[in-house]
Amino acid sequence: MFSDSISDYKDYYFIGIGGVSMSALARRLHAKGIPVRGSDAVSSERTEALIREGIPVHIGTDEEITERAVVYTGATDGRHPQLAAAKQAGKRLIPRAEFLGMTAEEYPHVISVAGCHGKTSCTAMLSHVFLQGKKKFACHIGGDDADLGNFCSFGDEYFITEACEYKKSLLELKSECAIILNIDRDHMDCYRDESELTETFRCFAGQAEHAVVNAEDPRARALPHDITFGINSGDYRAVDLRSEYERYSFTVEERGIPLVRVRLCVEGRVQVLNALAAFAAARRYSFTADEIRAGLETFRGVKRRFERMGTLNGVPVICDYAHHPREIGATLLTAHKICRGNLFVIFQPHTYTRTKDLMKEFVSVFSDCENLLIYRTYAAREAFDAEGSAYALAGGLPQARYVQSAAQLKARLSDAPQKDDLILVLGAGDIDQVVRGILD
């Protein structure tokens, strides 16, 4: 019989260690003195960073696994050579979601942030709040916080983590406090229909001691909960909302009583909702309003979340992870508000399934983009599907131009953007690395 305790295994091997969540979990083991190494298909900034930290990383799929326990991502199938060999050798195989759940069980208090959009920013905000409040905590972030990276540890009392809905991974987490930011139609390759997706979130909220939900999201509001938040409604509201170049300030109202004024350092109205969710959860743990305010105001953002990458021919370039129509719509709105000239948009679809399922929504959200480039699909785990391809999406947008390579992308942008224009890069694939390679 295999144990479900992390400490019972002397060493670990991670397949797909270069992923943002996997690398964070590997870094936690390394910090605890547990030997860990892993492999990934390609070298990246993240794998190089792991090597510098002393975690061995093999590039490829041919390394022999001598460790007893093997952690692998949900995107890895049974045909993966290392995973197949590990199974044949009788090793303990642990899916990433299950391993995250095992990790959370080592902490007395677990706070999980769920939702189809905004998880990473809200999770990172909470880490800054807990840091400001001098709590003993660790945080597992699904992106790179500007100051804390994708994992930080300042103690072992509280564990803050993202709870992903992909393949119902969030159900592996037994949370003391569950935050549900929103529920939207996504990852439908993993769900029979939208009702099954909603039911999964319902189970997630129901198995937590406390649930904090978005009062302005109808599906989230219908879940079991005891605390709500929203800009205009809920137990925690943002009143006297003001914006300066899309950086918002507001007064947090707790059940009708004004508490404190917060000034965010990150752009976008959606960040107000993320901040309110973090505020509501932190109050559950007896933080003062000033401690929460100070924490939220030290949050400087997450990489690829409206991140300023640099310039191309002197024109500013902003990168955002938005890959779902709802996220894209919010990001486009923010970009339009700060752009003084013309907005040029580069979008890379993420997976054929999502593009095919939401084709009408993608066409609708991009319909008003006059300067739109569609870059080839980031397939991730999927096989080619012409109906869900980037080329098919470009075909539904008369003003769009399809580009296949970095050279074509650079050529398209060589003369068009002018002073006061803005280039916005959207997508969850490798488009950020592609664009970084052609910056000034």
Q: Which of 69-78, 87-96, 109-118, 177-186 has the lowest mean pLDDT?
A: 69-78
Average pLDDT of the residues in 145-163:
96
**pLDDT score recorded for residue 76:** 75
Q: Among 69-78, 88-97, 140-149, 243-252, which is the least confidently predicted range?
A: 69-78
Give pLDDT, residue 163.
95
Distance CA 84, CA 86 (A): 5
Predicted pLDDT of residue 362 = 97
Kindly tell me if the per-residue pLDDT of 417 is higher than 90. no
- The mean pLDDT of 251-257, rounded to a whole number, is 98
Give pLDDT tens digits for 276-305.
999 999 999 999 999 999 999 999 999 999
pLDDT at 1: 44
What's the token pair of residue 350? 């993420």
Of 26, 44, 22, 46, the C-alpha closest to 36 is: 26
Burial (CB count <10 Å: 0-12, 13-18, 19+), residue 407: exposed
Q: Which of 38-42, 165-169, 267-271, 334-338 is predicted least confidently? A: 165-169
Cα dihedral 62, 63, 64, 67, rounded to 10, equals -140
Q: For residue 7, is pLDDT > 90? A: no
More confident residue, 42 or 160: 160
Please report the pLDDT score of residue 2 as a whole number.
Answer: 54
Q: Which residues contact 325 (CB under 8 A, 6 or more apart)?
A: 358, 361, 362, 364, 365
* pLDDT tens readout for residues 105-127: 999 999 999 999 999 999 999 99
pLDDT at 423: 96
**Residue pLDDT, tens place only, 381-409:** 788 999 999 999 999 999 999 999 999 99
Are 226 and 210 contacting, i.e. CB atoms less than 8 angstroms apart? yes
Identify whether the C-beta of residue 119 lies closer than 8 Å to the C-beta of residue 112. Answer: no
Neighbours of 89 (CB within 10 A): 12
What CA–CA distance (Å, rounded) separates 149 from 98?
A: 22
User: What is the distance between the alpha carbons of residues 56 and 38, in angstroms, rounded to a whole number?
Assistant: 7
